[in-house]
Amino acid sequence: MSVDQHENSNGERVILLKNCKYNAFLDGEFDEEKNRREFQEALQAVRNKVDSPMKQMRVVTLSKKISCWHCYKLFSEDAEEKQRVYEKDFCSKECVRAFKH
């Protein structure tokens, strides 16, 4: 795992965690305790380096695949078609509709 940070055009500090297997925002991958620890240590290390605490900080994990709640298809977490409804992720509007019915 590698940690990268830069500022985007909004002045936000964006932190990229590359090849991170653990996603703090996704349930279900808590079995890999080591990855979870690495993730938190990296996050802490970056936080300690941030010299301007007033700045907004955004953490982005790359290469994350999440599974559609309806059809179980794996898709990229930042996919444009991604739908988030009732705290669940879907790969498309069609799947959201199918799930609701």
Residue ranges in contact with Zn ion by CB under 5 A: 68, 70-71, 73, 91, 95
Distance CA 48, CA 26 (A): 24
Please say which residue, 36 or 99, places its beta carbon nearer to Zn ion: 99
CB of residue 77 vs Zn ion: minimum separation in angstroms?
14
Q: What is the nearest approach in angstroms of Zn ion to the Cβ of residue 67? A: 9
> How near is the Cβ of 76 to Zn ion at its closest, in Å?
13
58 vs 94: CA distance, rounded Å: 30
The residue written with tokens 């590359």 in the block is: 18
Minimum CB distance to Zn ion smaller for 42 or for 95: 95
Task: Output phi, psi for 67, to 5 deg.
Answer: -105, 135
